[in-house]
Structure 1
Amino acid sequence: MDTIREQQRAFQHDLLTDLQDMLGSREITAILIADQYGRPALEVVDSQSRTRRVFVHLAFLWFYWGDERDERISCLRLPTAADRIEGAAREGWREGEQGELGIDLMKILDAHRS
């Protein structure tokens, strides 16, 4: 089990490193970190010097920086993802705390069983 988790973290790290490089070339400050749970993330600074963390959701292959619908984008098209995150950072992160994206896959399975 640890090997799978390590492979997942390595994949997340690689995706975030590629995103970090793209954002850096666009003069967006992004620092690769590990959060308190060991998840890799990018701390991205917006135009008002506020920081949000960008994570990778592996089940859906998303980059996400909150729990709102417009705060996630596919990892599969990295330039498009970088465009979107750059735009959000230049515009400024939304007010309030950063929401955590929580998707209960069991609810999705239960919906299909009914």
Structure 2
Amino acid sequence: MYKKIAALLFAAVFISSDFVNAQDTDAYMGVIPAPVSVKKTMGEFILSQETILQADTPNNKAVVFFRQFMANNMAYNKQVGMRNATSKSNIIYLTSTGTEGLPAEGYRLTITPQLITVAG
């Protein structure tokens, strides 16, 4: 009986440690839909109430959807502004610039500690 319990406990610990390691080895870092390629760099972007949303076309349907998502899920109720080169940090920028070589449903996601750019 004790051998069965010990074996079951060992299996549970082994499986749970495997799940913890699996989170670190996700090649796509949780991005959905999975990207064609990923290049991981140092740093992290901190999403806060000071984050600024900017877009080439603030009234674009996808931009409006993203702003509503942020309002409903993050209690972030700021308006989306036009791209402003003087703003230097804590920005999420939505654009279609530089997407000429992407497939119809393609996108380019670039994240630095100062800026998230979604081009698509």
Same fold (TM over 0.5): no
Could you say which structure has the greater relative contact order, defined with CA pairs below 8 angstroms and 6 or more residues apart?
Answer: 2
Q: Which has the higher strand share?
A: 1
Q: Which has the higher helix share?
A: 1
TM-score by length of 1: 0.30
